Chain A
Amino acid sequence: MDLSAINPVLLIASLMVAATPLLLAAIGELVVEKSGVLNLGVEGMMIVGAIAGFAAAVETGSPLLGFVAAAIAGALLSLLFVIMTQVALANQVASGLALTLFGLGLSALMGQKYVGVKPPQMGRIDIPVLSDLPVFGRILFGHDVVLYFGIALTAAVWAVLKYSRVGLILRAVGENHDAAHALGYKVVKIRTLAILFGGACAGLGGAYISLIRVPQWTEGMTAGIGWIALALVVFASWKPWRALLGAYLFGGVTVVQLNLQAAGVAIPVEYLAMSPYLITILVLVILSADKSSAPASLGRSFHASR
């Protein structure tokens, strides 16, 4: 066993990469749930985003265009969810599950000819002086653009929800859609926009896995990250910064357990492999003890006649 082989700087840098897909998906879902909609289709939207982004990046040679395509694909798939739950007023839980299953199948079909293909590489940002700083240079200034986008998005969502009028309206719709409707807000329109935003975020998260983290396409490569994101939103008590914390914790334990294994620590591999899930859930359960409750209208269908 040789713990000195673990380089803490590289460890933190790579945990941020490991956490980003989860963070993107969780932030999107957080906004959706804040508007009172429960979309269990995160996994499906992520995987479709993963293949759409991968295919677009391979065809155009530009990873950035890949990310744009992934966001569009995720949003398009969530449009299906909009039609089911906002127009046809179908049950949200069932619709979300259907969306995940559909997304997994659709992505496998779309990905047929992309298995084993090498995508174009996405460069790291290289800021002349800052990136060369010891320790902080690599942690703070040595990543790809999308990772920073994820953090910026977290901050933006937090600020909008907390301080802006738009955030207030969104929360009103999520807490009591009848009251919001009585005040003249267009509940269905607001929810539709929130769902599309969530879809785009999930798509981005999926593309981050297939274009940067792995980078390759395989069926089912999101491997349950979408479900973790859903759990993360609940345990983070619908607060953006806690979602960030949870995502980094999850990414951190994922990376640390591999590092421990490579350093030869004598803990059975099975325990190490389950530790990210266990620790993340444990910590967030403790954090959520302050009883911040879910948006009151979460999961309930709205129709103006009722």
Chain B
Amino acid sequence: MKLTKLLAGAAVALGLAAGGALAQDKTKVGFVYVGPVGDGGWTYEHDQGRLAVEEEFGDKVETVYVENVAEGPDAERVITQMALQGADLIFTTSFGYMDPTINVAKKFPNVKFEHATGYKRAENVSTYSARFYEGRAVQGTIAGHMTESNIVGYIGSYPIPEVIRGINSAYIHAKKVNPDVQFKIVWAFTWFDPAKEADAAKVLIEQGADVILQHTDSTAPQAAAQAAGNVVTFGQASDMAEYAPFPRVSSIIDDWAPYYIARTKAVMDGTWTSVDTWDGIGPGMVGIGEITDAVPAEVKAEALALKDAMASGEYHAFTGPLNKQDGSEFLAEGEIADDGTLAGMNFYVEGIEGSIPE
């Protein structure tokens, strides 16, 4: 008797819940994150974008997110789960979610998907990314001026075009202001692992680097630089202002909010189509965090001038003459790299030592 009562009660409760969900026709937006929302970097900024969506649309929208999702089969499970729970639009925010997103999208033709930093699209899958390399150009300029040992350490995550583009862009612009500069690159093979990132930063510092650039998401390299005392760093993906004014002297900030709001609106209006978005400093998807007073005024002015030139479109970070690492010609005098070449970039430019891991 008791049990049946309980079951009946549960059934009524479930029915109410389901009815409630049906009654209000909310747009459900899902986010899949590679790190924790508190990483202070990449995932943090995506989550700020999610919160902006909530603020913009209030109770017309419901957002869900799953953090710390490993790239690979696990991602496919999480994305499928989200689609099954009735999400209308799903943002998958890491390069390694590319194939899982495409696979799940095939099974749910009515759900819209948005994959960050990838290159595979479908009827219901858009891609979006930011031209981080424009920010890297600004960092490279500051790094070239700030280094005294002429050794710049670079913590790479995975050897994918996005990361290689960043290394090349930073190197080209550091070299421009400091012909003696040398890059030391360590691949961490992770987006987010504070222990590995800290180790990598320490090793680079021990080998003489006094500027550290990172393409990983945690603030651990900043902490390592702070402990070392005389090492310059840059915030990655987020401002990382808690390490300003030194070691962190500037940063690249990703601003996803306007894009997330626009895409959510498109789903609500039924105007969503599959697109490929790649915006830089100009449209505001890439921001440059405040350059602190640890940087000499004239260097700061030069960096800001470069930023403005890229924002207005009068200068492109990959402008010839440039050679590839093996000495063959990449871009002729005055030539500008096209987006296709940039998107698939798998080589270092001339002057960078070492080889890209397979």
Q: Closest residue of chain A to B357, judged by CB?
A: A269
CB distance from B202 to the nearest CB of A (A): 6
Chain A residues positioned under 8 Å from B125 (CB to CB): none
Question: Are B202 and A14 touching (Cβ within 8 A)?
Answer: yes
Interface size on B, residues (CB 8 A): 37
Q: Which of B34-66 contact A (CB under 8 A)?
A: 36-40, 44
Are A262 and B186 within 8 A (Cβ)?
yes
Contact between chains at B227 and A121 (CB < 8 Å) = yes
Binary contact track A4-38/B, C-beta < 8 Å → 1, others 0:
01110011001000100000000000000000000
- Residues of chain A within 8 A of B185, CB atoms compared: 262
Question: Contact: A259 with B206, CB < 8 Å?
Answer: yes
Contacts of B192 in A (CB 8 A): 218
Contacting B39 at CB < 8 Å: which of A10, A115, A264? A115
Query: Chain A's nearest CB lies how many Å from the CB of B33?
Result: 12
Report yes or no: B218 in contact with A216, Cβ–Cβ below 8 A.
Answer: yes
**A255 part of interface (Cβ distance < 8 Å):** yes
Instruction: Determine, out of B4-12, B173-181, B193-201, the stretch whose residues face the partner at the interface.
Output: B193-201
B residues within 8 A CB of A125? none
The interface-forming segment of A99-107, A207-215, A242-250 is A207-215
Chain B: minimal CB distance from A29 (Å)? 21
A214 touches B220 (CB 8 A): yes
- Is B351's CB within 8 Å of the partner chain A? no
- Which parts of A115-150 form the interface with B (CB within 8 Å)? 115-116, 118, 121
- B354 contacts partner chain A, Cβ-Cβ < 8 Å: yes
As a 0/1 sequence over residues 337 to 358 of chain B, the CB contacts with chain A under 8 angstroms (1 = contact) are 0000000000000000111011
User: Size band of the A side of the interface?
Assistant: 20 to 34
Instruction: Verify if B187 is at the interface (C-beta below 8 Å from A).
Output: yes
A216:B207 contact, CB within 8 angstroms: no
- Contact partner of B207 (CB less than 8 A), chosen from A116, A215, A221, A263, is A263
Complex: how many Å from CA A5 to CA B39? 32
Q: Which B residues between 155 and 211 are near A, CB-CB below 8 angstroms? A: 184-187, 189, 192-195, 198-200, 202-204, 206-208
- Does any Cβ of B come within 8 Å of A182's Cβ? no
**B153 within 8 A of partner (CB):** yes
**Contact A118-B198, Cβ < 8 Å, known A7-B206, A258-B186, A259-B203:** no
Pairwise interchain contact A215-B223, C-beta atoms closer than 8 A? yes
A286 close to B (CB within 8 Å): no
Q: Is A94 an interface residue (CB 8 A)?
A: no
Interface membership of A168, Cβ < 8 A: no
Please tell me if A266 contacts chain B, counting CB pairs below 8 Å.
yes
Contact call A255/B199, Cβ cutoff below 8 A: yes
The verdict on B219 contacting chain A, using a C-beta distance below 8 Å, is yes
Given A264-B353, A269-B357: A118 and B195 within 8 A (CB)? no
B68 at the interface (CB under 8 A from A): yes
A residues apposed to B, CB below 8 Å: 5-7, 10-11, 14, 18, 115-116, 118, 121, 209, 213-216, 218-219, 221, 223, 254-255, 258-259, 261-264, 266, 268-270, 273
- 8 closest A-B pairs by beta carbon, nearest first, are A115-B38, A116-B40, A258-B203, A264-B354, A116-B38, A10-B206, A216-B194, A5-B207
- A-B pairs with beta carbons under 8 Å apart, 23 shown: A5-B208, A7-B206, A10-B206, A14-B206, A18-B199, A115-B38, A116-B36, A116-B218, A118-B242, A214-B195, A214-B198, A214-B220, A216-B219, A218-B192, A254-B199, A261-B186, A262-B184, A262-B185, A262-B186, A262-B203, A264-B354, A268-B357, A273-B189
Q: Besides A214-B195, A221-B194, A262-B207, 7 other CB < 8 A contacts?
A: A118-B242, A214-B194, A214-B223, A215-B223, A216-B220, A216-B223, A262-B204
Residues in chain B within 8 A of chain A (CB atoms):
36-40, 44, 68, 153, 184-187, 189, 192-195, 198-200, 202-204, 206-208, 218-220, 223, 227, 242, 353-355, 357-358
